[in-house]
Amino acid sequence: MYALGSSNFMKPMRFAGAGILGSDQLQNPDFYNWNKVFVRYCDGASFSGDAEGRAQDGSTLHFRGLRIYQAVIDELMEKGLNNATQALLTGCSAGGLATILHCDDFSARFSRDVSVKCLADAGFFLDVKDISGKRSFWSVYDGVVHLQNVREVLPKDCLANKEPTECFFPAELIKSIRTPMFILNSAYDSWQIRNVLVPVSSAPDKPWSSCKDNIRNCNSTQIKVLDASVSIAFRNTMVGAFKVVEDKEDWGLFIDSCFTHCQSLYGISWNSEISPRLGNKSIAEAAGDWYHGRSQGEKEIDCEYPCNPTCSGQLPP
């Protein structure tokens, strides 16, 4: 059984914290002494579903991610979050998507004099064709959107012109978000390369399996698929989606070219001697400067792989 989303199989939480959750001032200088709350995965739709569905055995499935998110935030507000002068909603992977989906709602719960911002890590999932030419990940999202009825969290201006599934992708979501946001993502996101660009159904052969395990194993043809101006270019699609952020002065970007996924939760990625650097800053430095307004225009997009020497092979895969 899969541990994520299952209270029967998930491992006990040891909240020592690392990366942005860490309490070490040297490693996490801007957020080390903040009150932190970790919310586990639980619903399979980034805390956005609210529906019942029928299983094959006839039993009823209850999808309540949206209600869970609302209940968690309501309880935290009652326990003192409503007294905060600064707040940051963040998450990685599906939690990064949840951050994007709920950023404005989270911000709206505070008075205007509170500094509320959001940091989405590795949640910028793309609607791209896989290497066989199929929109396989669209099919995954389409199933989630309709099974769990996620329309309530989707931007109404997007729904007025597009299909709900398209509005569930971050490239559309960010067009409607008003709250300041910092997007942290790899343009060679290892999870998306394995599961979106090169799913098993599109490339069951061994050469692609080796490439997906470690980008250093990719041959020149595979790198071209990942990087160059072919129709399914993954990096180009991601970078192009961020053009809408250029005019958002209070937003930040840290888009590196490292073969990794979820960088804010690991000290080695967040702020260490071998963490990725853009503009001569670690992720922690860039995110801290953005949040506290110490510098303007914290928007960095890395050059193409393998140009960045700070992309260590020791980063989480």
Bigger pLDDT: 16 vs 47: 47
Provide mean pLDDT across the span 272-279: 96
Whether the pLDDT of residue 216 is over 50: the answer is: yes
- Helix, strand, coil shares of the chain, percent, nearest 5, are 35, 15, 50
Of 46, 48, 93, 282, which is the active-site residue? Answer: 93
pTM of the model: 0.93
Cα–Cα distance, 131 to 180 (Å, whole number): 34
Active site residue 247: no
Active site residue 186: no
Cα–Cα distance, 102 to 111 (Å, whole number): 17
Distances (CA, A) of 241 to 128, 164, 182, 253: 12, 18, 14, 12
Cα–Cα distance, 174 to 172 (Å, whole number): 6
> What is the model's pLDDT at position 229?
36
Active site residue 93: yes
Q: Cite the DSSP H helix spans in the chain.
A: 65-78, 94-108, 136-148, 156-159, 164-167, 170-173, 190-192, 206-213, 220-227, 234-241, 267-270, 283-292
Averaged pLDDT score across all residues of the chain: 91
> What is the model's pLDDT at position 52?
92
> What percentage of the chain reaches a pLDDT higher than 70?
94
Q: What SS3 state is found at 178?
A: coil
Cα–Cα distance, 288 to 283 (Å, whole number): 8
Place of tokens 């409503």: 82
Bigger pLDDT: 282 vs 7: 282
Of 104, 130, 189, 256, which is the active-site residue? Answer: 189
Distance of CA 5 to the CA centre of its chain: 17
∠ Cα 161 165 168 (to 5°): 95
Provide mean pLDDT across the span 197-219: 80
Identify how many contiguous H helices and E strands the chain contains and give both numbers. Answer: 12, 9
Whether the pLDDT of residue 232 is over 60: the answer is: no
> What is the model's pLDDT at position 230?
38
Q: Give residue 286's pLDDT band: very low, low, confident or very high (50, 70, 90).
A: very high
Whether the pLDDT of residue 147 is over 80: the answer is: yes
Beta strand 51-54 with 115-121 is unpaired
> What is the model's pLDDT at position 39?
93
Place of tokens 């599906």: 94
> What percentage of the chain reaches a pLDDT higher than 90?
70
Of 102, 261, 264, 269, which is the active-site residue? Answer: 261
